[in-house]
Amino acid sequence: MKMDDSKYDFELDPEFGKNFYENIEKVLSDVDSEPMEFAEDEDVQITQDMKLDNDTSDIDALIDNTNEELAATKNINVIDEEMIDEELYNINASLAEQICEELEQRAEEAKTCKRSKFPKWVKIPAGIMVGLILLVSFLGLTKPGNALLMNMGMDLGGKIWATWTNDFATDISAAEDIDHLEEDDLNSEAPEMDPNQIIWPGDNGEGRREEGVYNILLLGEEAIGSGTSRGRTDLMIIATLNTNTKEVKLTSIMRDTLVQIPGYKDNKINSVYEKGGIDLLYDVMALNFNIHLDGCALVNFENFEKIIDEIGGLEITLTQGEANYLNSTNYISNPAYRNVKAGKQILNGNQVLGYSRVRKRATITGNNNDFGRTDRHRIILNAIFEEYKTKSKVELASIMLKLLPMITTDIGAEHFELLLNSFLEMGTMEMQQLRIPADGTFNDRAKVRGMYVLILDMEKNIDILHSFIFGEEEAVEETADY
C-alpha cells in the first residue's frame, strides 16, 4: 500500500528541527572551541586504547538492539517513557542525539592525546559525521526519507503493541447454557414469544469481507463477580476503517439483541463471549449479520476507568435527569465523586464509568433504557477520540504505553501496523455512527424463555449494516451532534 509521503514531512516539524540542529551545532562548537596542541615529535604513537575502530560500527546495530530491548521491557516495572517516546515519535531526533553523543565522547578522548600533525581522529569521525548527518537529513528532510522513517516507526509500534497487550485466555472452559434473568427481564410485562416463529438468516460462512475495509470489534467486559471466568460484554461496537471511502465508522450492537449461537440456545448477544470466548463471537457475527471481523480489542470496566483518568478525563454533556440520577445512586461508585451537574463538564474515570452504565434516564439524544445507554457508549468513544486529537506525539506515546497492558486483543504486530498505516493514510478525523438494530426494524415487546429481548428483522438490519460499513448506499445513519 503506497503511503502519501507529503503527509509526514518532518522538515515542517519545529520540534525535530530545533533538537536536530541544536545537537549538531553543539558538538561542532565543542570540537572547535578546544584548540589542539601538537607535539614536536611526528612519530608519537597513539595508544591502543585511543584507536577509533568503533567509529565505523554500523549504526544499524542501534536499531537491531531496539527490538531486543523492547522484548525485555515487558518484565521491567519502571519504563523510561521519555526514551520510548523518542524511539516511537521522534526517531529522527533520537538518531541525531545518539550520533552527537558518540562524537562528543570521541572528541573528549582526542583532546587528551597530543599529535605532531593534523590528527587522524579528525579524519575518521568527520567522514562518519558527514555520512550520518546526510542519513538523518535524508530521513527527516526528504519525502522518501519520511516514508522510510514512518515505516521504522510503524515497525517499532507494531512490536510494542504485540509485546505489551494481553492475549485472550484459551484455558477457560465454556460457560453453561443457562438464561440469566435480570431485573429488567423480571419487570417486563412483554408477552412470551415462540422462538420457532423467528426468521433467521442462512449460513453466511465466515461473513462478508472486502478489500480495503477493516472491521475491528471493540468490547467492554462486565466481569464483576465472575472470578476467573469470562464476563458479559455489555459494550459491543464494530469500528470500521473503510479506506475505499476514507471513512471511520462506529456501529454499536445492542446487548439485548437475540441471536443464533452455534452449539447453544438462541440468547442475548452479550452472553456469547461469556459462553465461548472471542472465536464463538466471531461465528455469531458472521452467522447473524454476515460480517467478517478482522480482530478484536477488549477492555474490562476496571481498566476502562483507569484509561479515562490517564487521558485526563472526558468532556461530557449531562442532562439534569442524568446528573440527579448519578448523584443519588451508586452508579458512581465513589461517593466523593457524586457531584456532577447538568451541562458540559469534565468527568473523571469513575464518573464516566457510572455514566456509561445508566439505563433509566434519557440521554442528550433523547433515548432512554438500553437505547440511551448504547448512545452513551458512542458518546464516550467520540469524546475519547476528540481528546486524543488534542494531544502531541510525545503525550500520545506516553499515554499509549500506559494503556497497552490494559487491553486484551488478538491483533498481532503486522496487523496493527496495517491498521495504523491505513488510518494515517486516510487522514480523516471524523467518525460516523450507527446503531443496530436500526429504528423501525425490530420488536422490543417480547420475551423468550422469560428474557426481555430485541427481536430483529435480520434481513433489513443486514442491509442497513452493510450499506453503512461498505459504503454501497446511504444507510440509516445517526447524525446526532455529540
Under DSSP, is residue 322 helix (H, G, I), strand (E, B) or coil?
helix
User: For position 47, what pLDDT does the model report?
Assistant: 41
Residues 72-99 have a mean pLDDT of 48
| 472 has pLDDT over 80 | no
| 144 has pLDDT over 60 | no
Q: Which residue intervals of 112-249 are DSSP H helices?
A: 120-141, 143-164, 183-187
User: For position 215, what pLDDT does the model report?
Assistant: 97
Residue 195's Cβ-count burial label (10 Å; 0-12, 13-18, 19+) is: middle
Residues 130-150 have a mean pLDDT of 44
| 403 has pLDDT over 90 | no
Q: Between 233 and 46, where is the model more confident?
A: 233
Residue-wise pLDDT tens digits, 268-302: 999 999 999 999 999 999 999 999 999 999 998 88
Residues 393-420 have a mean pLDDT of 85
Q: What is the mean pLDDT of the chain?
A: 75
Residue-wise pLDDT tens digits, 154-174: 556 677 788 889 999 888 887
| Cross-sheet strand order for the sheet of 408-409 | 408-409, 295-300, 213-222, 232-242, 247-253, 431-436
Residues near 84 by Cβ (< 8 Å), separated by ≥ 6?
Answer: 160, 397, 401
User: For position 224, what pLDDT does the model report?
Assistant: 60
pTM above 0.95, yes or no: no
User: For position 183, what pLDDT does the model report?
Assistant: 86
| 440 has pLDDT over 90 | yes
| 81 has pLDDT over 60 | no
Please give the grid coordinates belonging to residue 359.
439505563
Please give the grid coordinates belonging to residue 100.
552527537
Residue-wise pLDDT tens digits, 200-231: 998 878 899 999 999 999 999 986 655 557 88
User: For position 36, what pLDDT does the model report?
Assistant: 42
Closest CA to 316 of 265, 368, 353, 370: 353
Residues near 369 by Cβ (< 8 Å), separated by ≥ 6?
Answer: 359, 360
Confidence of residue 325 (pLDDT cuts 50, 70, 90): very high
According to CATH, where is 3.40.630.190 located in the chain? 183-311+391-470
Q: Between the CA of residue 292 and those of 64, 199, 409, 466, 471, what are the distances in Å?
A: 36, 21, 16, 11, 16
Residue 423 φ/ψ region, left for φ over 0, alpha for ψ in the -120 to 50 degree band, beta for the rest: alpha
Residues near 201 by Cβ (< 8 Å), separated by ≥ 6?
Answer: 287, 288, 290, 458, 459, 462
User: For position 97, what pLDDT does the model report?
Assistant: 55
Residue 361's Cβ-count burial label (10 Å; 0-12, 13-18, 19+) is: buried
- Can you identify the CATH homologous superfamily of domain 183-311+391-470? LCP protein (3.40.630.190)
Under DSSP, is residue 259 helix (H, G, I), strand (E, B) or coil?
strand
Residue-wise pLDDT tens digits, 326-363: 999 999 999 999 999 999 999 999 999 999 989 889 99
* Residues 193 and 275 sit within 8 Å (Cβ to Cβ): no
User: For position 447, what pLDDT does the model report?
Assistant: 94
Residue 48's Cβ-count burial label (10 Å; 0-12, 13-18, 19+) is: exposed
Looking up cell 467518525, which residue turns up?
Answer: 431
In the chain, % of residues over pLDDT 90: 41
In the chain, % of residues over pLDDT 70: 63
